[in-house]
Amino acid sequence: MPRQELLTVDEFNELETSILGMQYRTITEIEFVRDRQRLGLVGTGKKKGWQEKYSYQASGLKATLLTTFVRELGTCRKHDKGCIVVTNGDTILYMTRPIHRTKNFAKRILAYAEIIRDKMINSPLCPECSARMRIRSNDKHQHWWSCGRLKSHAEGNWHNEPWDFGIDDIQKAFLDKMRAPGVRRRKKAKKEGKEIVRKTQKSHWIRTNPQNIEAA
């Protein structure tokens, strides 16, 4: 595992300026606590201080960015991970893999923040009924955009678009780089005839809302 590199106050201030420049807004503690209760998320352990969080809303979706930086401590929490959660009302639709606080953490979380924002802004419209497509997923944790308004479709079929719809080539190249280790692991397992098992990450949340237990 690469060496942990926690942000300094100056580094975080620079990161925050960039986040706000993308039109994310600061989330208050009361707002996040209410969101967490609605989503059925319970923390797995005691955490020091209030970590800085930001949100962006578009196309009926809300992205919540968790930085792990605590102002009163002047640094990031030692045992935590950054991530971005996409929700629609009380439902978790997508959650990035944990963003580790290692070299270039600020650049990586900014890249994810921009990509999630652009996916939300550019979320596809159904080519048949013009409804905005929704985020769907399966038990393999694959995501895509889909319209299931079958009564509005002449042949009663689903219409789908890839999860990376609406982002540019530079953003796709970044995601390909982040996904590469998992792709190599799955190819190796398939070549060796082994069962392909998704690598699990320790979560800092316990999900109590039934509709969110299998999400993301």
Q: Is 66 exposed, middle or buried (0-12, 13-18, 19+ CB in 10 A)?
A: buried
Cα–Cα distance for residue pair 125/63, rounded to 1 Å: 19
Per-residue model confidence as pLDDT tens digits over 107-142 = 999 999 999 999 999 999 999 999 999 999 998 789
Comparing 59 with 215, which gets the higher pLDDT?
59
Q: Quote the pTM value.
A: 0.87
- Nearest Cα neighbor of 163 from 143, 183, 187 is 143
pLDDT given for residue 216 in this prediction: 41
Identify the CA nearest to 84 among candidates 124, 126, 116, 61: 116
Per the CB < 8 A criterion, the answer to whether 207 and 213 are in contact is yes
- For tokens 């600061």, name the residue: 26
